[in-house]
Amino acid sequence: MPTVTSGKVLVTGANGYVATWIIKTLLEKGYSVRGAVRSEAKGAHTRNLFASYGDKFELCVVEDITKDGAFDDAVKDVDAIEHVASPVTLSAVDPNELIKPAVEGTRGILQSALRHGTRVKRFVMTSSTSAVKEIGVPGRHVYSETNWNWKAVREVNEKGASADQMEKYCASKTLAERFAWDFYEEKKESGIPFDIVTVIPPYIFGPWLHEIKDPSVLNVPNNMFYDDVIQGKADNETLANFGYQWVDVRDLALAHVLSLENEEAGGKRLLISAGNFKLQDLVNSARRFSDEIPLGNTSYRKEAAEHLATLDTSKTVAILPQLHYRDLEDTTLAILECCEKNGWWSR
């Protein structure tokens, strides 16, 4: 399929954390952007944020992403789609509170793109390593783009509302991404005018552009940073042992845009990760910029830390050689500066 290096891009969930950075990156590279939000009120901050770009940026309202035909107008006259909108919560009772909007939103926008997106050449979807890595599996594991988290789906099918909250979220990401690929493979047989890329990040840290009123509504990793690093709420054992993979939101946004522009990305799952971390690594990094940050676990040694799960990102590195990851210090400083700007912390 042809790459997309200019024109207009539809970005869903336009008022969200990741989407605002994708929009900024697209606009800075000369694209026009149509951002989809659920209401005019929810889009007000985003409209103001990108007002300086004039008619290069526009908003459209898609009130209910699960409704058939909800994206019919949004997909018209765009050259590519960045589908970012998806529910994120760890307080759902019924798993379908997460699974239905994740899957039906994906179904709806793909169907609209097929019916009405006559100019669409590429569909890029934000997935998650939650759709790749299985939780609580003993032993060491290296995960790649070939892995799927079917364990979460099985648990949700078996336990329903009593399933672990994280497993509910993982199931929603797995099923939504899997639907996108099944849809593409099925339609490819009869001809489909666009191809698909899924961008798969782990924990997303870094500065925010979207409207945030207090730290409690930050995305989960940045909220964790505020609670456990800035406020020092985590105990020593948690600081030394809790960890995951991470990426800076600005690098993730660039990966989304590069996925439009790179021919080899078409039809691929792209794992995006800057590496592994433990919570104490974040503490140590933050203390380089301020001794007001609590010390945390002073016996922690990075070189001795165990990471039972790692990501093999070699395929992404080969496909997107222009993508270079920020280091943890750069990301940490940006978070601290955002917190300081919002009046939540001072040096």
pLDDT tens-digit series, residues 286-302? 999 999 999 999 999 99
| Residue (of 276, 340, 288) closest to 313 by Cα position | 276
Q: Which residue has the tokens 């890029």?
A: 124
- List, for residues 231-261, the tens digit of each pLDDT value: 999 999 999 999 999 999 999 999 999 999 9
Once rounded to an integer, what is the mean pLDDT over residues 307-318? 96
Helix (H) or strand (E) holding 103: helix 96-116
Looking from the CA of 345 toward its CB, the CA atoms found within 13 Å total 24
pLDDT-based confidence at 1, cuts 50/70/90? low
Which pair of tokens denotes residue 221? 């990793």
> For 187-194, what is the mean pLDDT?
89
Closest residue by Cα to residue 129 from 323, 322, 302, 309: 309
CB neighbours (10 Å) of residue 48? 10
**Mean pLDDT score, 292-317:** 96
Cα distance between residue 108 and residue 347, in whole Å: 47
* In the chain, domain spans: 207-245+274-309+316-341
Residue 68 pLDDT exceeds 70:
yes
Q: Are 176 and 95 in contact (CB under 8 A)?
A: no
Nearest CA to 259 out of 250, 269, 249 is that of: 269
End-to-end CA, the chain? 51
**pLDDT digit string (tens) for 121-140?**
999 999 999 999 999 888 89
| Amino acid sitting at position 309 | A
pLDDT band at 191 (very low <50, low <70, confident <90, very high): confident
Q: For the chain, what percent of residues have pLDDT higher than 90?
A: 92
Judge contact between 272 and 252, C-beta under 8 A.
yes
**Mean pLDDT within 315-319:** 97
Q: Using CA atoms, how far apart are residues 20 and 210, in angstroms rounded to an integer?
A: 6
CB-side exposure of 49: number of CA atoms within 13 Å? 21
Buried b / exposed e over 217-231, threshold 16 CB at 10 Å, is ebbebbebbbebbbe
* Selection from 222, 277, 19, 10 nearest residue 126 by Cα: 19
Q: What would the 3-class secondary structure string for 112-173 be? A: HHHHHCCCCCEEEEECCHHHCCCCCCCCCEEECCCCCCHHHHHHHHHHHHHCCHHHHHHHHH
pLDDT-wise least confident of 36-40, 97-101, 327-331 = 97-101
State how far the Cα of 264 lies from the Cα of 107, in Å rounded to an integer: 24
- CB 106, CB 148: distance < 8 Å: no
- The beta strands (E) that lie in the chain are given as 8-12, 32-37, 57-61, 80-83, 122-126, 141-143, 195-200, 203-205, 243-248, 269-271, 275-278, 309-311
Report whether pLDDT(227) > 80.
yes
CA distance 196 to 188: 11
Predicted local distance difference test score (pLDDT) of residue 87: 75
Q: In whole numbers, what is the pLDDT of the chain averaged over residues?
A: 95
